[in-house]
Structure 1
Amino acid sequence: MRAVRALALVALLLEVSAVLSYPREAADDGVLSPQDVGRRGEASMLNDRPIIGILSQEVPRSLRRAFGNYTSYIAASYVKYWEAAGARVVPIRINQPRSYYRQLFSWLNGLVFPGGSAKLDVSGYGRAARILWDMAAQEPKDFFPIWGTCLGFELLTFLELNERRLDRCKSQNQALPLEFTADGFTSRMFSGASKALLKAFMEQNVTINFHKYCVSPETYRNTSLSRNYRLIATNRDWDGQVFVSAFEHRIRPVYGVQFHPEKNIFEWGEKTSISAIPHWPEAIQASQYLADFFISEVRKNRHRFPSAAEEHKHLIYNYKTEYTGLIGSVFVQCYLFD
């Protein structure tokens, strides 16, 4: 009997010890403390609760006519795209005071400039982007990932050059494979892709383009873009004009693509009866790879909201989506902001 009791006592002590030594869950604010980091080891240096900001932009006329006089919007496909890679999203409003952007920058783990049709120089979209961009540039030791898609890609070049250096392109509803440069295969963006996935990127029409403007290789070579960015891939529009499809900053975690990876999974081209958006398995895998890559970068940032209440107040969950695909919008769903 004494032996049985002794064994039971040992088992109890082992159970208590296991509970005490097991990594604690995140605190109420959802962010690990330095003590948690130590307990969980080196892998816990990554932020497993990343939150990114997506910049909104002016509402197009079609949405205003259908839903009223909202001031800005974000296509829901961008939100769902990054959520599917394990991030949460905060909408960043346009035309706000600088203090608003400073606060969000200090709390967010990364930033996305989405596609759309806003002007780069005189829009609320462009002005807010400039403020956030300058904040990131002024803190070079702060690892703050930024991603630009289509218009957002063009915006990155505008922020770099301080001028609009775009050419006209005819690449509407055009699905293409990527034409990698030599740097493409060793780039941060694509070096983690499997051989099978790289083959899909190179041989299948897995990237969908919807743009009227583009950055030419000549503009890239003859400006500071070549000094600060690695050219990863190019493409040709319907007329055979070559344009830059993807690049990444040589030092900072800044990435841009002229195509729309989010559309492969979350947009269906309801505005037109014929859509070139690729939805086959390899196209989905290619799209998901890029989302996973960027969020893996975002996880390296350790910014945090000051409290759970502040975090919850800003999350996209506070807003509802509108079904915009049936009223002429190129987006199936949108978030609209007052």
Structure 2
Amino acid sequence: MGNSLLISLFLFVSAITTTETQLLFDTQQSCPAPDSTLNYRPVIGIVSHPGDGATGRLSNATNVSYIAASYVKFAEMAGATVIPLLYTEPSQILNQDNNILEEFSAASQASTVQLVENVNIEGTVFGRFPPVLLKKMGTDCLVMQNHHFGISPERFQANRHLSSFFRVLTTSTDENNKVYVSTVQAKRYPITAFQWHPEKNVFEWGSSRIPHTEDAIQVTTHVANYFISEARKSSNKPVAREVLDKLIYNYNPTYGGKAGKGYDEVYLFTPHSALEFSVEKKEQCN
């Protein structure tokens, strides 16, 4: 009698467990398919800068260039991979007009970000920010500035090339209370430009002025997610084999944070080392 009762109880429990497992399996099978119009393997190109990012402490080669590892991590944290684009490769990237720039005292400065009055943020980088966080951005120093040049709202509006292409979303104030444009968005293209550093809050520790509060981390997270969500809308998909050969994973970052200033990590590039890497890859494929 006792054994029969135990067997019956075991079969009853097994039946319940099997049913729950089947229900869980059925639930998983009913998950909606991802949006087929989006690219869930976005690849971001980051252009390197001349120098080693550490005023010669890491490399004094004349043809060296660098990419801050924080830029790479910023893209990766939102679900993208990165390919380095060496600044020495193209003969010309953009036309320059330094006459539109003005001097500002915003080097190594934590600051607020002020939304332009009556600006419509729907569909912009700030559209996904919680209202509480948006309000704090205007009162708390949640972003890092690190520049000596910028453009005032007045000069921006007076330049027909800029004002017809971009609209101003935010402004910020430097240490001398001079106001400059800090965020713009293209009117007809998916382009957003920042005169502040959303990546530093999470990934850079060289300056005590970089904000690392929970609110500051949220700012970085929301900006990264917006940036990569826009990239997913692109239908441009490079050849998979070429992507693997050129990904930033093929390079090793250099730690420079012990000096207590500058970038914590950088990727260093020279045309010679890039050529060697390309030849090595070809030999492996042959």
Q: TM-score, normalised on structure 1?
A: 0.66
Match in the other structure for 1:115: none
Contact 2:53 2:68 in 1 (8 A): no
Q: Which has the larger radius of gyration?
A: 2
The answer to whether the Cα contact below 8 Å between 1:166 and 1:213 also exists between their aligned partners in 2 is: yes
Compute the displacement of 1:330 (Å): 0.8
Q: 1:310 aligns with which of 238, 242, 259?
A: 242
Following the alignment from structure 2 to structure 1, what is the Cα–Cα distance between the partners of residues 233 and 138? 29
Q: Secondary structure at the match of 1:66?
A: coil
SS in 1 for 2:241: helix
Match of 2:283 in 1: none
Cα distance 1:128–1:329, how it changes in 2: closer, same or farther (>3 A)?
A: farther
On the 8 A contact 1:184/1:190 being kept in 2, the answer is no
* Paired position in structure 2 for 1:262: 199
From 178, 184, 197, the equivalent of 2:113 is 178
1:205 aligns with 2:141: yes
Instruction: Please give the alpha-carbon distance, in whole angstroms, between the structure 1 residues aligned to 2:218 and 2:77.
Output: 12
Q: CA deviation at 1:44?
A: 2.0
* Cα contact 2:46–2:82 (8 A) shared by 1: yes
> Could you tell me which amino acid in structure 2 is paired with residue 319 of structure 1?
Y
Instruction: Give unpaired runs (5+ residues) of structure 2.
Output: 1-28, 271-286
Q: Pick from 60, 64, 68: which aligns with 1:71?
A: 64
Q: TM-score, normalised on structure 2?
A: 0.77
Q: Specify the alignment match of 1:218 in structure 2.
A: 154
Determine the C-alpha separation between the residues in 2 that align with 1:65 and 1:268: 18
Give the residue type in structure 2 aligned to 1:276: R
Q: Is the 8 A contact 2:182 2:195 kept in 1?
A: yes
Work out whether residues 63 and 324 of structure 1, in 8 Å CA contact, stay in contact via their aligned partners in 2.
Answer: no
Q: 2:44 aligns with which of 46, 52, 55?
A: 52
Structure 1, gaps ≥5 residues long: 1-21, 23-38, 99-126, 131-157
Report 1:1-338 matches (<5 A): 40=33, 43-60=35-52, 62-69=54-61, 71-97=64-90, 127-129=92-94, 158=96, 162-181=97-116, 182-183=118-119, 185-186=121-122, 188-224=124-160, 225-269=162-206, 275-306=208-239, 308-327=240-259, 329-338=261-270
Task: Name the CA distance, whole Å, in 1 between partners of 2:55 and 2:242.
Answer: 30
2:172 aligned counterpart, secondary structure: strand
Q: Report the Cα distance in structure 2 between the residues aligned to 1:266 and 1:61, rounded to whole angstroms.
A: 15
Aligned residue for 2:93, secondary structure, equals helix
SS at match of 1:198: helix
For 1:97 and 1:82, locate their aligned partners in 2 and report how far apart those are by CA, in whole Å: 23
* Structure 1 residue 203: Cα displacement: 2.3
Report the Cα distance in structure 1 between the residues aligned to 2:253 and 2:261, rounded to whole angstroms.
Answer: 14
1:144 is aligned to none
Cα drift, residue 309 of structure 1 = 2.2
Q: Secondary structure at the match of 2:226?
A: helix
What RMSD in Å do the two structures reach over aligned CA positions?
2.4
Q: 2:128 is paired with a residue of what secondary structure?
A: coil
Amino acid at match of 1:296: S
